[in-house]
Structure 1
Amino acid sequence: MAEELRWVLIIISVVVIGGLLIHGLWSVRKKDAPIATNERVEPTEQPPVQRQPISEPTATHTSQRDEPQFGDLSFSASDEQPKLDDVVESTVAEQSELQEDTHSEECTKTIDEAPAAEDFIIVHIQMPEGLTMEGSKLLPAVNTLGFKYSEEGFFNRHLDPAGHGPVLFRLVNMYNPGTFDVDNMEQFSTAGISLFMTLPCDGDGLAAFNMLHSAAKKLADEFGAAILDSQREEMTVDSVRDYVEKVRRFSV
C-alpha cells in the first residue's frame, strides 16, 4: 500500500513538472513572436509654415524738388527800393483801361483801343543819403509844375495844365507802394521820386520829354537831389541824348 502511494506521488510530480516545463516553453515562444496589429499609425500632422510677407521698402521720391520759399517781399520807404518797372507797367495798364472807358462813354458806336506801351522813359530824383523829401514841401512843388493828383495815387501831367487831355507823364514814389496819400502829405516823406512817360505817347513826344526833363531839374534843385537815369546812374548829357533818340524812334 505504501509502495503504491509512493508511485502515485512520483507520477503526479512528473506530470506537474512536465506541465511547468511545457508552460514555460510556450511562454518564451509567445514572448519572442512579433506582435501583429491592424492599427494604422497616422503620421503626426505638422502645422503649416507661415511665410512672413516681405515688406517692400518705402519708395523715396528723389526726383521731387523742394520749391524755394519766398519771404516777405514788401519794402519800406526808409530802406529798400522797389522794382519801379512793375509800378510803371501797372500804371500803364490802368491808364489804358481808363482811356478805353472814357472813349466808350463818348462814342458808343466805335471803340478805339489805346496803343500798347512799347517802352518807357524813366528819370529818378534821388535825395542824398540820410535825407528825405517832406510831403508838406513836395505837394506844393508838384502842383506848381502842373501835376494833378489822380485816383490811382499818382501825380499826372496832362497836356492841358488844368488837368484835361491825355497824360504826358507821371510822377510816382520811388519806394513801395509807389503812390502818395494826398490827405496825409504832412506826415509823408520819401527818399526819392520818379518821373516816367510811355512810348509812343500822345501828342509831341519830344515836347513831352523836354517838359519831363525840365520838371525833374526843378524838383532836384528844390530839394537838393540828384537826377538819375533808368539805370540809377547820374544823368549826363549822353543820357539825355539817348532818351531823345528813343523818343524820336517812337515818334516816326
Structure 2
Amino acid sequence: MAEQLRWVLIIISVIVIGGLLIHGLWSVRKKDRPEVSDNERVEPLQESTPAPSKSFRTEAEPKEATLNERDEPQFGELDFNENEPQIDTSVPETPIEDDLKVVDDLDVKEQSDEESSTQVSDFVIVHIQMPEGLNMQGSKLLPAVNTLGFKYSEEGFFNRHLDPAGQGPVLFRLVNMYNPGTFDIDNMEQFSTAGVSLFMTLPCDGDGLAAFNMLHSAAKKLAVEFGAQILDAEREEMTVERIRQYVEQVRSFSA
C-alpha cells in the first residue's frame, strides 16, 4: 500500500511540475508580445502600406499629356492624302539675278591664278529682252546666232571668235538671260527663253572698240529679228548716252 501511494505522489508531482513549466513558458511568450488592440493593428497598416489610389494616376496622366501636346507633334494628326493638291516645288524660269555670275565663272576657267591676281578686268553686258508674255523659240534662235558668226561651246554658250570660222580668241559671248544661263544644243527645237545676254570681257584680245561694235550690231539684229528690246547692264532701256559710256569703258582698257 505504501508502495502504491509513493508512485501516485510521483506521478502527481511530475504532472504538477510539467504544468508549471508549460504555464511559465506561456507567460514568458505573452510578456514578449505587445498587447495591441484591433484598431491599432489596422491603422499602422493603412499608413505604412498605402495602396496606389486612382486619384494619383489621374493627376499624373494629364500632366504627361500636356507635355506631349506642347513639345512634340502627335503623329496621329499628320494625315497625308495623296489626292490633295501638292505644293509645286518646281523652279520657275527666273532671270539670272547676278549678271556677272556667269561672266565670273567663265573668266576663272580662262585665266590662271597668276593672271587673275595681277590683271584687273571689267565687263560690258547688253540684254535683249522679249516683250512680256513672249519668248524666243530655239528653232529660230539657233539659225540667227549661227548667221551672226557664233559658235556653240562645250560650256553651253555661243561664242563669237576673232575668226568668224570659230578660230582664235573669243571676243564676246551670248548666254541665256534666264537660269541656268546655258543652251542645250541638242534640244533647241523644244527650247524657248524670254531673253538673251551678250557680254565681253575687258580687256579683250584684238581691237576692243571693233569688238564692241560687233557686239552692239549683233544685239540690234537679234532685237529686230525677235521684236525684242535692248537693255543695258542694269536692265534699263539702252540709250545713246549709255552706249557712249560703254565706248569710254572699252577705251580705258585699250589704252
Common fold: TM-score over 0.5: yes
Question: Post-superposition shift, 1:82?
Answer: 3.1
Partner deviation per Cα, 1:137-178 (whole Å, 9 max, x = no partner): 000000000000000000000000000000000000011110
Structure 2: runs of 5 or more not aligned: 1-89
Q: 2:92 — aligned with what?
A: 76
Question: Post-superposition shift, 1:75?
Answer: 5.5
Q: 1:204 — aligned with what?
A: 207
Q: Counterpart amino acid of 1:166?
A: P
Question: Post-superposition shift, 1:113?
Answer: 4.8
SS at the partner of 1:231? coil
Q: 2:168 — aligned with what?
A: 165
SS at the partner of 1:164? coil
CA contact (8 A) 2:96 2:181 kept: no
Tell me the distance in 2 between the aligned counterparts of 1:117 and 1:171: 22
Q: Which structure carries more helix by proportion?
A: 2
Question: Post-superposition shift, 1:91?
Answer: 1.4
Question: Post-superposition shift, 1:135?
Answer: 0.3
Tell me the distance in 2 between the aligned counterparts of 1:151 and 1:95: 13
Partner deviation per Cα, 1:211-239 (whole Å, 9 max, x = no partner): 00000000000000000001100001001
Q: 2:125 — aligned with what?
A: 122
Is 1:249 matched with 2:252?
yes
Q: Pick one of 229, 240, 255 that aligns with 1:237.
A: 240
1:90-101 equivalences under 5 Å are: 90-96=105-111
Structure 1: runs of 5 or more not aligned: 1-73, 101-111
Q: 1:195 — aligned with what?
A: 198
Number of positions where the alignment pairs a residue of Structure 1 with one of Structure 2: 165
Q: 1:70 — aligned with what?
A: none
Tell me the distance in 1 between the aligned counterparts of 2:119 and 2:218: 25
Structure 1 239/140 Cα, relative in aligned 2: closer, same or farther at 3 Å?
A: same
Q: Pick one of 144, 148, 151 that aligns with 1:145.
A: 148
Tell me the distance in 1 between the aligned counterparts of 2:191 and 2:120: 31
Q: 1:221 — aligned with what?
A: 224
Q: Counterpart amino acid of 2:109?
A: E
SS at the partner of 2:168? strand
SS at the partner of 2:174? strand
| TM norm structure 1 | 0.62
Specify the structure having the higher radius of gyration (Cα).
Answer: 1
Tell me the distance in 2 between the aligned counterparts of 1:131 and 1:168: 29
Q: Counterpart amino acid of 1:174?
A: M
Q: 2:159 — aligned with what?
A: 156
Partner deviation per Cα, 1:112-157 (whole Å, 9 max, x = no partner): 9577451100000000000000000000000000000000000000
CA contact (8 A) 2:121 2:202 kept: yes
Tell me the distance in 1 between the aligned counterparts of 2:104 and 2:91: 18
Tell me the distance in 2 between the aligned counterparts of 1:174 and 1:231: 13
Identity of aligned residues (%): 73
